[in-house]
A and B are shown apart, each in its own frame.
Chain A
Amino acid sequence: MEQVNDAEKVGGGNAQTGGAAVRIHLLRRTFDDLVVINNLTLDIAAGEFLSILGPSGCGKSTLLRLIAGLTKPTSGTLDVTPADLKFHTAYVFQDAHLLPWRSVLENTVLPLELMGTPRDECVRRARAALEEVGLAETEARYPAQLSGGMRMRVSLARALVTSPRLLLLDEPFSALDEVTRFRLDIRLRELWLERRMTVIFVTHSITEAAFLADRAVVLTRKGGAIKLDRKLALPKVRTNELRASSQFGVEMQALLTAMEEES
């Protein structure tokens, strides 16, 4: 925060700030005797859309929490550049996790409010974020009045409202029906193309990993080693037609083979 120039300062408008790069070197995280991540090395370029796949219990969520700075590594290094990333990281959880006593607008305002942004700017930016996920009409409603898909979109708007440079998503759409999920996949990809932020998307769905990302990493069962690190040869703009194409089938097959060997 201290070294940020005015244009980039938190609450300083919607200035496009580009993505953040993440460099992970020999990262290790243990919980008591349990080794969750063992000497993982991984470089994520600024502005990249990366999917992380792996069997359950491979440490995917822990890895995201480490990148977000919500938990500390036991050893190894994890550098996010630019370094003044405080407040520039956003996190989307598996469930929407909205505050039931706040309206859609007030839930979206929350991150800015906590950061101390002036109220009218909070509201303006929250409305813009809701617009981006197609929920402008529902700002006065409460979470209990929304469908699961709408709640997840509010959660996404809440993450986007700060114009993050690093967006971390932990199996965000896994509880939704497929039609809703496909729709949100497409929207997320569009948002990434518009904003050029770095996106790290953790999932156990091979289809979703391949559809969304430009690069997919498959982790081994014993977290740490990377089973497969693959650049996906798919077009920039993704539509549902892609799901039935042969290129998509090739990428899916490659990821599936790696996953099968790990389960």
Chain B
Amino acid sequence: MRKTFSNFLPAAIPFVVVTLAVEWLVRAGWIKAFLVPPPSAVLETMLRDWPELFAALAKTSVGALTGFALSAVGGIAIGVFLSSSKTIQRAFYPYAVFFQTVPIIAIAPLLVIWFGYGLRTVIASAFVVSIFPVIANTLSGILATDPALRDLFRLYGASPSATLWKLRFPGALPQILTGLRIAGGLAVIGAIVGEFIGGQGLGSVVDVARTQQRTDKVFAAVLLASVLGLALFGFINLLSRLLLRRWHASFSD
């Protein structure tokens, strides 16, 4: 309990201070309320519009999580495939990099044309922006296998597939999990962008509230999107701890 407290306190203090400061600055008239709503108004909106906001959060969650899951599975599979030979890397890796540089906001309208209005576009958008870090981290993790251990596997006649599944892939897990952690945050961004253009969820709530000059509602929706991102981040951290608990001396038996 005490540990939990000391873990969260450092993060909670700046939040409380900034929230109070913004509240005071808006009330004192230093900041216009239609530019930055006072935190109390955001809270009020959150409570009043909760059914609508919650429904939007649920939709965004489905889009972001599905996109993330596809990135995780697809990214790991592509990373493993790319690691199989230098030639394959030369042939396909540039296209993976291309995926990373695609400006999602520019191709989102295309996704709408391909997938129509709705969830499928949101999922596709979340997938496109989040797959690259999974591919890149899987690949570099597998390529960074300890050369001594590769020698050891060769000495005992291990097949390429035994070397991959008993050595290279498990050895790459820490890096793969780092890739997934990055992908989680990106998937939420991708889902919101997808919803701006062709879906329903927090993204569309933001878009509509903006046109109505409802900054309080924009803030409420953005806050919920951040909570979703944090929850995903927390889930991946938990997964890392479970999968890697034996790697570090700190685990108890």
Which A residues have a C-beta under 8 Å from some C-beta of B?
65, 68-70, 86-87, 89-91, 93, 95, 97, 99-101, 110-111, 113-115, 141-142, 144-145, 162
User: B150 — nearest CB in chain A belongs to which residue?
Assistant: A70
Contacts of A114 in B (CB 8 A): 153, 156-158, 162, 166
- B170 adjacent to A68 (CB under 8 Å): no
- B155 adjacent to A99 (CB under 8 Å): no
Which B residues have a C-beta under 8 Å from some C-beta of A?
146, 148-149, 151-158, 162, 166-167, 170-171, 173, 246-249, 251, 253
Which residue of B156, B246, B251 contacts A115 across the interface (Cβ within 8 Å)? B156
* A-B contacts at CB below 8 angstroms, number: 60
- A93 adjacent to B148 (CB under 8 Å): yes
- B247 adjacent to A97 (CB under 8 Å): no
- Beyond A97-B148, A101-B170, A144-B247, list 17 extra A-B contacts (CB 8 Å): A65-B151, A70-B155, A86-B157, A87-B155, A90-B155, A91-B151, A91-B155, A93-B152, A95-B148, A100-B246, A101-B173, A101-B247, A114-B156, A142-B246, A142-B251, A145-B253, A162-B156
User: A97 — nearest CB in chain B belongs to which residue?
Assistant: B148
Contacts of B151 in A (CB 8 A): 65, 68, 70, 91
User: B173 — nearest CB in chain A belongs to which residue?
Assistant: A101
Max chain A CB contacts within 10 Å: which of B156, B166, B171, B247? B156
Contacts of B154 in A (CB 8 A): 70
Contacts of A113 in B (CB 8 A): 166
Contacts of A115 in B (CB 8 A): 156-157
Q: When chains A and B are docked, how far (Å) is the Cα of A70 from the Cα of B151?
A: 7
User: A113 — nearest CB in chain B belongs to which residue?
Assistant: B166
Max chain B CB contacts within 10 Å: which of A89, A114, A145? A114
Contacts of A91 in B (CB 8 A): 151-152, 155
* Across the A-B interface, the 7 shortest Cβ-Cβ residue pairs: A114-B156, A144-B249, A100-B247, A114-B158, A142-B246, A111-B156, A97-B148
Contacts of A145 in B (CB 8 A): 249, 253
User: A70 — nearest CB in chain B belongs to which residue?
Assistant: B151
Which residue of A101, A110, A162 contacts B246 across the interface (Cβ within 8 Å)? A101
Which residue of B157, B167, B248, B249 contacts A99 across the interface (Cβ within 8 Å)? B167
